[in-house]
Amino acid sequence: MQNSLDPRIRRSDLDSASGFNQVGENENWETFAVFHQDKRGDAHVFVGIVHAPDPELALVFAKEQYGRRKKTVNMWVVRSTDIYTFRHEDEDMFATVPEKNYREASGYPVRKRINKYLHDLEEAHS
């Protein structure tokens, strides 16, 4: 690469790697899921994965990749193989009754009931 504009490339012996074109299987290690906490009091949130040979290095890479820009106070990493999950195709199992008013606070208009009671009381006394 004598004609390269980059002096570092002109100094490197790139030809020594000319026959190399095969990264081995698993040479990029396994994957870890990264959970990021941007401030104390907030939940850790899944932000993506890193490739690493072990949890310690996974944390180092996670800091580099997911803590580089955003404010960060803490991180978790978890081996992808240690995550258990439902399948998206089974999401209908989360379907429940369409009307869930009975389990919402807003489904209980107590004040309306009280007002009606007071109103009826007033009517009865007048």
Partner 1 sequence: MYGNAYIDKNDIRPSTDVDDPVKLEEFEARIARGEKIEPDDWMPAKYRKTLIRMIEQHAHSEIIGALPEGTWITRAPSFKRKLALIAKVQDEVGHGHLLYAAAETLGKSREAMINDLLNGKSKYSNVFNYPAKTWADIAVIGFLVDAGAIVNQLANSKGSYGPYCRALERICYEESFHLKQGYDAFVALAAGTPKQRAMVQDALNRWWFPPLMHFFGPPDDLSVHSEELIRWKVKMMTNEEMRQEFMDQYVPKIWEMGLTLPDPKLRRDETTGKWEYTQPDWDEFFRVINGDGPCNKERLAVRRYAELSGRWVREALKNPKQVHHVPYA
Residue ranges that bind partner 1, judged by CB under 8 A: 1, 4-9, 12, 14-18, 20-31, 33, 46-51, 53-54, 57, 64-65, 68-69, 80-81, 83, 85, 87-89
Residue 15 or 123: the one with the smaller Cβ distance to partner 1 is 15
Shortest reach from residue 63's CB to partner 1, in Å: 12
Long-range pairs, 113-117, Cβ under 8 A, ≥24: none
Shortest reach from residue 23's CB to partner 1, in Å: 5
Residue 39 or 103: the one with the smaller Cβ distance to partner 1 is 39
Shortest reach from residue 50's CB to partner 1, in Å: 8
CA distances from 38 to 32, 67, 69 (A): 19, 9, 11
The H-or-E segment that residue 61 falls in is: helix 55-66
CA dihedral 18, 22, 26, 32 (to 10 degrees): 60
